Amino acid sequence: MASLPHCLSARPLVVAAAPGRPGPGLRGGARRRNAAVSAGNAGRRVGLRRSVASAVEVRVGEDEEGVEEEEEEEVEAVVMPERYALGGACRVLAGMPAPLGATALDGGVNFAVYSAGASAASLCLFTPDDLEAGEVTEEVPLDPLFNRTGNVWHVFIEGELHNMLYGYRFDGMFAPHCGQYFDVSNVVVDPYAKAVISRGEYGVPGPGGDCWPQMAGLIPLPYSTFDWQGDLPLRYPQKDLVIYEMHLRGFTKHSSSNVEHPGTYIGAISKLDYLKELGVNCVELMPCHEFNELEYFSCSSKMNFWGYSTINFFSPMIRYSSGGIRNCGRDAINEFKTFVREAHKRGIEVIMDVVFNHTAEGNEKGPILSFRGIDNSTYYMLAPKGEFYNYSGCGNTFNCNHPVVREFIVDCLRYWVTEMHVDGFRFDLASIMTRGCSLWDPVNVYGSPVEGDMTTTGTPLATPPLIDMISNDPILGDVKLIAEAWDAGGLYQVGQFPHWKIWSEWNGKYRDIVRQFIKGTDGFAGGFAECLCGSPHLYQAGGRKPWHSINFVCAHDGFTLADLVTYNKKYNSSNGEDNRDGENHNLSWNCGEEGEFAGLSVKRLRKRQMRNFFVSLMVSQGVPMFYMGDEYGHTKGGNNNTYCHDHYVNYFRWDKKEESSDLQRFCSLMTKFRKQCESLGLADFPTAQRLHWHGHQPGKPDWSETSRFVAFSMKDETKGEIYVAFNASHLPAVVGLPERPGYRWEPLVDTGKPAPYDFLTDDLPDRAHAVHLFSHFLNSNLYPMLSYSSIILELQPDD
């Protein structure tokens, strides 16, 4: 809790009418109980000075008779004709311009918000009941003389504001062609609000079926009641991570999860032990910032399930909590903290997927919720006539490299690290954060064009100020920073994202190459070998390491692992866009028949292929990441863009996990095998001192265009040496193994074998017999491989 600065207690403020036209009621007929008398503007005309204001105060609840008379000449204090509903203990003071947001101090709360273009502003206070009714409880006009410093509006409310909510009303020019959207009829959400309150129940509209009811921010308390129980960051070296991308709601929403609070932070905690058993030590949460799952609902039955449409970047998604809007959102904050704390107890880090590339306000036809109504031209990337640049593909583009916006983003990241204890961030469409902002113009900077300078709004910058700030921030320097290094405007930076040797990347090239090699496409043997080594062709020259590559075959966006081997085409008709949405270039193969209903031989091949993909992921240098449900073969029926479905297609099927326990067992054993092998999570790229390539014969790799076989042996400090081979041909092969005098090769993994013999654990009852069946091959340093299969062998002393 911070102390009340002396300047606040020494400079009380006269409450006056906001300049400009009086605002109409809040949408839905909200009232303005504290509308100032029209004499307010007259008070300004006679010249209220800061020195005058410092000697005058208005106690909330007093009538005009209670106002101390000012002795200076002809100065008339402007007072409120009505009593405040907040009670006599509250009074309004000038406040401070920093920090931004609502800050609890000794004796009250300081409010500060940036808006350069507004001509007038007022603080709107709500009780929860009034918010539900769409009515402002109290409105405090902010005087531009006393409540504005630079471009920051501020006010201090002295007194008790417990269980109150707040927003702002801004007046100014409404001129979309100039990029301005000030509208005094809207009460907008503070970008720095720590919780956003509107609807309390997921998927349920507000009163009257309103999908966009009035929203307001949580007013913080001067203390925290949450018990972290000594929680500290795990600080795993990134090379040691196994990342599990998951949707918080989808993880436990299905009835088969059998948790008390399905689809919530608390519900997910109940299943963290499963993730630990799976071998996962890091979860990457799909968006958990406040968004509106009903943003499409008024014009269709679609839901915004994924959440890539942020309303507020400081607030956790309130409707992911079992408490909803109870306690003004504080319970939701504490539930998220509890999830992080309990994940850390189980040795699992938490990375958040953050969407600083656009917001839910969309293009010029979108709603005015927060940023647009506060200062549209600051927060969004605009063309000269006010049009929204759309590098996100979602209607607007966050103006990330504007000085105010980049400070906002850094403040937000710091908050989630220091207050919420998250361990890192994955930045959606991160290439947008490297583009020049709307101010990036020589005429704007220097007053005249600069010869040869072609930098304009949206130009990719070699050293983006935002990335520089994040990379060198003293608080963020120890967290994981992962870029999705492309955007919807065609900028693709995989291997070239500005990194300061800190940023890692979702390696989309890894995904594409591995998919093509494993399904047997010619010409990818060499590229596949590069992927196995951590993609040095992308990262080594720039001074980065294998762990800067986040390796993945499937993610939330695209086919699931099961669908990747089941469908040649996408089936997205249920999205309501005539199958036009979603990626057409999936690099999938249905293994001979389209769809789930296929012959036995095709289904067996699909099982092998899913295991082959998982083996490649776990034996590659870099950081493996797989998507929720892929470990049991979750299917979305060929839909590769399920952003809008809140049902079983996006839910983790705990019942299916039990039915597909063979695949889940294999994936769990592979993640644990990776952790056991020192050589599979190297801090640097492997060299010929420990890595040797092989073909069908040892020491003779085949890098030709028609090669579909890649094998390598790797010296390992814990295993001695391992041999890994991939046969992506439609033909079986008998491969020669490297000679190791005094040692023998023993099979561990063979995806061509049925479960449980696909992974020979020590506790397998007939393990010795299974190995003995291949002794005649192994005694000759040979091993038979089925078509489309992969193997792992371990070197053992020859007894």
> Which two tokens mark 6?
């002396």
> Which two tokens mark 58?
């208005």
Pairing of strands 549-551, 504-506: parallel
What's the rounded Cα separation, in Å, for the pair 410 and 468? 11
What's the rounded Cα separation, in Å, for the pair 362 and 214? 18
For residue 632, give the DSSP letter: T
Contacts of 447 (CB under 8 A, 6+ apart): none
Q: Is 693 helix (H, G, I), strand (E, B) or coil?
A: strand
Instruction: Tell me the backbone φ, ψ of residue 218, rounded to 5 degrees.
Output: -70, 135
Taking only Cα atoms into account, the Rg of the chain, rounded to an integer number of angstroms, comes to 30
What's the rounded Cα separation, in Å, for the pair 165 and 128? 7
CA distances from 590 to 515, 562, 568, 569, 599 (A): 12, 10, 6, 9, 12
What's the rounded Cα separation, in Å, for the pair 217 and 731? 63
State yes or no: is 484 an active-site residue: yes
State yes or no: is 594 an active-site residue: no
- 510 alpha-carbon distance from chain centroid: 21
Return the residue matching tokens 């986040």: 550
Among the options 428, 557, 630, 750, which is catalytic? 428
Residue 160 burial (C-beta neighbours within 10 Å; 0-12, 13-18, 19+): middle
Residue 572 burial (C-beta neighbours within 10 Å; 0-12, 13-18, 19+): buried
Return the residue matching tokens 């705990």: 654
Identify any residues that bridge with 791 across adjacent strands, giving them in sequence order. 725, 750
How big is the chain, counted in residues? 799
Residue 462 burial (C-beta neighbours within 10 Å; 0-12, 13-18, 19+): exposed
Contact present, 503 and 481 (Cβ < 8 Å)? yes
Instruction: Tell me the backbone φ, ψ of residue 134, rounded to 5 degrees.
Output: 75, 30
Q: What are the percentages of helix, strand and coil residues in the chain, rounded to 5?
A: 25, 20, 55
What's the rounded Cα separation, in Å, for the pair 532 and 464? 31
Return the residue matching tokens 């006679």: 46
> What is 68-126 written as a DSSP string?
PPP-STT------SS--TT-TT-EEE---S-SSEEEEETTEEEEEEE-SS-SEEEEEEE
Convert 739-792 into a string of H (helix), E (strand) and C (coil).
CCCCEEEEEEEECCCCCCCCECCCCCCCHHHHHHCCHHHHCCCEEEECCCEEEE
What's the rounded Cα separation, in Å, for the pair 345 and 281? 11
Contact present, 48 and 14 (Cβ < 8 Å)? yes
What's the rounded Cα separation, in Å, for the pair 573 and 579? 5
Q: Is 251 helix (H, G, I), strand (E, B) or coil?
A: helix
With b for 16 or more beta-carbon neighbours within 10 A and e for fewer, the 691-719 pattern comes to bbbbbbebeebbeeeebbbbbbbbbbeeb
CA distances from 637 to 274, 371, 574 (A): 25, 38, 10
Alpha helices in 729-792 (DSSP H): 767-772, 775-778
Among the options 171, 245, 484, 758, which is catalytic? 484
What's the rounded Cα separation, in Å, for the pair 61 and 80? 9
Catalytic residues: 428, 484
